[in-house]
Amino acid sequence: MAKILPEKSSNNVAVVTGGSGGLGFQLALSLASYYVTVICLDMFIPVIQNYENINFYKCDISNFEEVKKMKQCINQRYGTVNILVNNAGITEISELVNVPELRIHTVLQVNLIGPCITTQIFLNDILQSKKGAIINISSVLGIITPARLTSYGASKSGLICFHRCLERNLRANLELQRSKNKIKMILVCPGKIQTELFINVKTPSSLIAPDIDPKKLANQVVKTLFESPLPFVTIMMPYYSNLIPTIMKLNTSYIHILKYLSGMNAATKNQK
């Protein structure tokens, strides 16, 4: 099926956090292919920046005032943002007792507080656009977390909860339901992606739980954004991740046994 493209003058403006590399960069490329003006916010700016419709800015998304000033800059230069992709994320693979307090704060700030801040700042513009979207990139590890990823798992679990709470608020908004508002909310909970974030972690079974190609995932997310008729969507990849919510309904003892047999706890052992 041919890709359904919006008009080149559609005036879609997207903010992608953590867009300088990995999945975030692939999301930016995919959005740009749909004629979206993309603004990537990251702490690291790539050396090569000559990508059509993609712009890079240094920004600490966990700093409210910094994001607020960035919004003003974006509005003046590119127009009103109607698509927000909360993608930025960091991890810490270590026993919790060995993780410095500052590092715990940083993981939670970037992975959870950051998306809350960016959503709060851009939400009104997205709602007023009547054709916008909020996309949160969480992780299947926010549902079932292996050993030595406590702070990361907690942050991604919190992001899932944040997304669901905001989704319920939008569903309950009678004004939104009665209007022709086409706001979308997309939650993405992938397994291990082929990026730098978990480069030293080897997947226990490449057959059952293969690593995800970030380009393939990004294209699926953006395709869902523009082509799915559903306003609220959850994307889980690869296939096994769709089974996790059902597995989590089991008794805790069975979950522990399954985690042991799957090798997911061993996968993060002695990783830096």
Distances (CA, A) of 39 to 5, 46, 75, 229: 20, 13, 11, 25
Structural domains in the chain, sorted by start: 13-267 (3.40.50.720)
| pLDDT the model gives residue 258 | 57
| pLDDT the model gives residue 143 | 78
| pLDDT the model gives residue 76 | 97
Find, among 19, 11, 193, 17, the residue nearest to 114 by Cα. Answer: 17
| Catalytic positions | 152, 156
Say whether 42 sits in a helix, a strand or coil: strand
Question: Tens digits of per-residue pLDDT, 142-198?
Answer: 877 666 788 989 999 999 999 999 999 988 775 656 666 788 999 999 988 877 665
Q: Could you give the CA distance from residue 61 to residue 43 in angstroms, rounded to a whole number?
A: 9
| pLDDT the model gives residue 99 | 87
For the chain, 272 residues long, give each residue's pLDDT as a single digit of tens. Answer: 445 555 554 689 999 999 999 999 999 999 999 999 999 999 999 877 788 899 999 999 999 999 999 999 999 999 999 999 999 999 886 788 888 999 999 999 999 999 999 999 999 999 998 889 999 999 988 877 666 788 989 999 999 999 999 999 988 775 656 666 788 999 999 988 877 665 565 666 554 566 889 999 999 999 999 999 999 999 988 666 666 666 555 556 645 655 554 545 545 565 54
| pLDDT the model gives residue 201 | 59
| pLDDT the model gives residue 1 | 45
Q: Could you give the CA distance from residue 73 to residue 68 in angstroms, rounded to a whole number?
A: 9
Q: What is the DSSP letter of 6?
A: P
Distances (CA, A) of 246 to 36, 80, 243: 37, 40, 6
Q: Which residues contact 17 (CB under 8 A, 6 or more apart)?
A: 24, 40, 41, 42, 61, 85, 86, 87, 88, 114, 115, 118
